[in-house]
Amino acid sequence: MKKRIAIFASGSGSNAQKIMEHFKYSDTAEVALILSNNPESYVLQRADNFEIPSHVFDRHDFFQTDDIVKLLKNLNIDLIVLAGFLWLVPENLLKAFPNKIINIHPALLPKFGGKGMYGDRVHKAILEAKESEHGITIHFVNEHFDEGEVIYQAKFKVESGDTLEIIKFKGQQLEHLHYPKVIENLLKKYN
């Protein structure tokens, strides 16, 4: 029986797209649901293009009820993947899916992580700090922003003259290459 993935995203959903592409013809796993806290997010169109159901929720649903947990349990979700999802995951969801929620962060954690550190904010901080390397971190999710156990990291060299757009592009290339593979390898470990 195929493993079932739920992806949470708040924005464009380029990582979600790569994950949907990766598992589209897979015998081992499938993306069963896309969830978003943003009814205007492009990830919902991407889900529609792949004929994958989507669900939009608000702060109340996510933080004050068990509706999301029930939905995911009813769909027999094996792994929750955060792909550009900007809210802290509540305790009820963490307890319902222990070590089965992962996130991707556009930096080499523990550097440049934490509340408010996402997207261009991270890349600008890297440039301002004159870091010589940059990269991505895939990690388990816990009750704190970007502090869960690291699963995988990939790096690239920051060249002199690299702009925000260049390091953002290099990072996204790593995200799109590695996130689907890490998800697949994780799912192989689950019964």
Q: Does the annotation list 10 as a binding residue?
A: no
Q: Does the annotation list 92 as a binding residue?
A: no
CA separation, residue 134 to residues 82, 125, 146 (Å): 20, 11, 16
- Identify the active-site residue in 55, 60, 105, 134: 105
Q: How confident is the model at residue 25 (pLDDT cuts 50, 70, 90)?
A: very high
Q: Does the annotation list 103 as a binding residue?
A: yes
Q: What is the mean pLDDT of the chain?
A: 96
Mean pLDDT for 169-185 is 97
Report d(CA 176, CA 174) in Å as an integer: 6
The predicted-structure confidence for 47-75, as pLDDT tens digits, reads as follows 999 999 999 999 999 999 999 999 999 99
Q: Does the annotation list 14 as a binding residue?
A: yes
Residue 1 has pLDDT above 90, yes or no: no
105 is catalytic: yes
For residue 135, give the H/E element and its range.
Answer: strand 133-140
The predicted-structure confidence for 141-154, as pLDDT tens digits, reads as follows 999 999 999 999 99
Does the pTM exceed 0.95? yes
The predicted-structure confidence for 72-107, as pLDDT tens digits, reads as follows 999 999 999 999 999 999 999 999 999 999 999 999
Q: Is 115 helix (H, G, I), strand (E, B) or coil?
A: coil
The predicted-structure confidence for 116-127, as pLDDT tens digits, reads as follows 999 999 999 999
- Is the backbone of residue 157 left (phi > 0), alpha (psi -120 to 50) or beta? beta
Mean pLDDT for 26-54 is 97
Q: How confident is the model at residue 189 (pLDDT cuts 50, 70, 90)?
A: confident
Residue 35 has pLDDT above 90, yes or no: yes
- Name all domains of the chain by residue range, CATH numbers in brackets: 1-188 (3.40.50.170)
Q: Give the pLDDT of residue 191.
A: 64
Which residue has tokens 């809210």?
A: 87
Q: What percent of the chain has pLDDT over 90?
A: 98
Asked if 21 contacts 46 with a C-beta cutoff of 8 angstroms, the reply is: no
CA-based diameter of the chain, in Å?
A: 51
